[in-house]
Copies of this chain bind each other. A is one copy, B any other.
Amino acid sequence: MQPSRSRPRIRDVAEAAGVSETTVSHVLNNKGRVDAATRARVAEVAERLGYRPNSNARGLRSGRADTIALLMPIVDLDATHHILAVDFYLSLTMNVVEAAFERDQALLQLPPLRRLDDLRRFGIDGGIVVDPLPSDPRVAMFDRLGLPVVTIGRDIAHPGDHRWVAADSAAGTLTVLDHLAAAGARRVAMLSVDIEWSWFADAERAYAEWTARHGRAPLLVLARPDKLDSSAAEAAGRLLDLEPDAVYVPPQWLATGLLRATRERGLSVPGDLLVSVGVDSHQARTSEPALTAVDLDPARTAREAVDLLISRIEGHPPQAPRVIPITLLPRRSTAAITRRA
């Protein structure tokens, strides 16, 4: 007598309920024609026995794996820690896991894949690619296998592609810039990085439009995306040479570098320079001073991405991309400039 040695199969449920396996399957999947009384009885028995369909058998027959893949951003090893060190990605991951689970999907996390075969060997129904590069090879792999994909962030090389979910980077940028201006800033600069993610590209474009509309000179400095420690310091130096009185810095690691540079030059934040970062994080909250940040709502982003992907997996007509609204979290680093009042 084996205690819990083997889980109950559909046959056990069928026998216990006195019906055929077919009927059990129909009840559990809400298909076919089954008398209401029978339906209730079978459901009760299945519940009592703790029956769970074997996912392999189910997948084999139905062709579905009820599994989706998650691919985090590709960044070379040196950059990984800097770019991903922000808890936005942790929160995003956890929320994708949670959302997938609630939709009865398992969440497979995949490493950076090189070859098509790497993807082929997993039983998955589709995937979520985070921060796609232009014409991202990972997206192409899914396409070649005929599997649905959704990206978190747009592929800036394919404006016609509508399979994405992304926080509203342009709106976030404008909100921050207006906030800085309202705090009294005259020379509002932007410090960003040369990575072709829509998040950065949209922020740059919004900044250009904002400065043009307000008749201000654009003060833009881009850090190189390699050797991040040194390039952050270098870019921060270049930026401070422009003598701005406020800066919007989308990536956290550049904001960290900028704060260090202001300290070295004896500048005070927010006394001499207002600083706002483009993504909220534990670091932004606890830095000195606390940094005004944009809340990208990773929880909602994750949920919408899973929802969009499942919709495509189930063969529904293509939906519009989803733009996630952002919120500004004002903190001490952008306290109103009073010395000029």
Chain A residues with a Cβ under 8 A of chain B: 4-5, 7, 50, 52, 54-57, 59-60, 65, 67, 70, 72, 80-82, 84-85, 87, 89-91, 93-94, 97-98, 101, 104, 106-111, 116-118, 120-123, 144-146, 253, 256-257, 259-260, 263, 281-283, 286, 288
Closest chain B CB from A237 CB (angstroms): 16
List 12 A–B pairs whose Cβ atoms lie within 8 Å, in order of A's numbering. Answer: A52-B120, A56-B60, A57-B60, A84-B90, A85-B87, A85-B90, A85-B281, A85-B283, A90-B90, A93-B93, A104-B121, A106-B108
CA distance in complex: A263, B290 (Å): 14
Question: A263: which B residues are within 8 A, CB to CB?
Answer: 288
CB–CB A52/B121 < 8 A? yes
Given contacts A60-B56, A60-B60, contact A72 B94 (CB under 8 A): yes
A27, B181: Cα distance in complex, Å = 70
10 tightest A-B contacts by CB? A85-B282, A56-B59, A56-B60, A55-B123, A85-B87, A52-B120, A98-B111, A56-B56, A256-B286, A101-B111
- Complex formed: what's the CA distance from A118 to B101 in Å? 9
Residues of chain B within 8 A (CB-CB) of A4 are 144-146
- A111–B282 CA distance with the chains assembled, in angstroms: 21
User: Which residues of B lie under 8 Å from residue A286 when comparing CB positions?
Assistant: 253, 256-257, 260
CA–CA, A85 and B5, complex, Å = 40
